[in-house]
Amino acid sequence: MTEQTLSFSVVGGDARQAHLAELLAADGHSVRAYALEKHTFSDTVTKAYDIEELTRRVDCVILPLPLLGEGDQLNTPLAINNYAAEELFSLLPTGQTVVAGKVGHEMFERAGRNGLRLYDYLEREEFSVSNAIPSAEGAIQLAMQELPTTLHGLSVLVLGYGRIGKLLAKYLDAFGAKVTVTARKYSDLAWITANGYHALNTNAISGCLSTFDLIFNTIPFEILTAERLRELKPECLCIDLASKPGGIDFSAAKKLGVRAIWELSIPGKVAPVTAGLIMKQTIYNIMEEWRCRA
């Protein structure tokens, strides 16, 4: 795929999207960047200042992760203005290949009505696995910044044994932390034990939380309720890595004086170049699969 010169429009997103544009250009592709005005690009990337420029046919339009910010607006933290996703969809030509992250059913329907071929790279397993690496590393970096102690010897709870949970447990164990991991599936609980961590059923964490110094949540629904937050020792730090709606009752945490941090889109903050590389390879994979089917 990379041997063929292609044209890309990179629209919106954070630092990882900006680095993605640079990486695509470094591979020899033609790249236009839009709604990324706050980023300083090299001469190899062309800045587009008019949305009409994006209506000219390109091989692929790359939209942000997540696709939407507030309401129906594109997620554009590096842009000067706000942009409606529906407006952009309506301007793109029928049959246009579009990739984005965390798209949602409604946006897929809108894209379909406009005749667009829309792919969600967040749904790709190779992307999710690779993206879990900077997510886990960034979460540990945040914990080390916030804690007055080392991770070595610390009693740490990881809620959830998905992609990020697996790597978090591995990295924390390497630091010498005392790692407990929760899961619901018996197979996951068996693997947690086999890997040398303490296993705890997610449904049975009530009454077991008072011993932990640090808690990472990776489960995207409220797991640390007000009742459970009351169990925590005063100095316990909670870091929520789950996507919206998150897994911590932050209102209750504030009232109870629990230190709770909700850290979203970690890869774009701590490792934007690596995150851009992961995006680039996933997009190449999508386009190669489409070429083989055509």
Assess if residue 51 is contained within a domain: yes
pLDDT in the model for residue 164 = 96
Rounded Cα distance between 155 and 177, Å, is 6
Both 16 and 42 in a single domain?
yes
Assess if residue 282 is contained within a domain: yes
Q: Considering only residues 82 and 290, tell me which one the structure prediction assigns the higher pLDDT.
A: 82
Q: What is the mean pLDDT of the chain?
A: 93
* CATH label of the domain that carries residue 206: 3.40.50.720
Assess if residue 242 is contained within a domain: yes
Residue 294 pLDDT grade (very low, low, confident, very high; cuts 50, 70, 90): low
Both 140 and 256 in a single domain?
yes
For 12-71, how does the pLDDT look when each residue is reduced to its tens digit (9 = 90+)? 999 999 999 999 999 999 999 999 999 999 999 998 887 777 767 789 999 999 999 888
Both 32 and 117 in a single domain?
yes
Both 249 and 276 in a single domain?
no
Both 47 and 157 in a single domain?
no
For 127-160, how does the pLDDT look when each residue is reduced to its tens digit (9 = 90+)? 999 999 999 999 999 999 999 999 999 999 999 9
Q: List the Cα angle 279/282/288 in 5-degree steps.
A: 140
Choose the most confident range, by mean pLDDT, from 86-90, 102-106, 224-228.
224-228
Both 53 and 80 in a single domain?
yes
User: Which three-class secondary structure state does DSSP give residue 92?
Assistant: coil
Both 26 and 114 in a single domain?
yes
How many domains does the chain divide into? 2
pLDDT in the model for residue 53 = 73
Give pTM, 2 decimals: 0.87
Assess if residue 224 is contained within a domain: yes
Both 165 and 225 in a single domain?
yes
Both 161 and 249 in a single domain?
yes
Q: List the Cα angle 162/168/170 in 5-degree steps.
A: 105
Rounded Cα distance between 232 and 119, Å, is 42
Range of the domain at 149: 132-263
Q: Are 30 and 62 in contact (CB under 8 A)?
A: no
Assess if residue 2 is contained within a domain: no
Q: Residue 279 carries which side chain, given as an amino acid letter?
A: M
Rounded Cα distance between 285 and 282, Å, is 5
Q: List the Cα angle 200/202/207 in 5-degree steps.
A: 75
Both 97 and 205 in a single domain?
no
Both 223 and 278 in a single domain?
no
User: Which three-class secondary structure state does DSSP give residue 292?
Assistant: helix
Assess if residue 1 is contained within a domain: no
Both 228 and 278 in a single domain?
no
For 205-218, how does the pLDDT look when each residue is reduced to its tens digit (9 = 90+)? 999 999 999 999 99
Assess if residue 159 is contained within a domain: yes
Assess if residue 72 is contained within a domain: yes
What lies within 8 Å, CB to CB, of 158 at 6+ separation is: 165, 168, 169, 172, 179, 180, 181, 182, 215, 216, 218
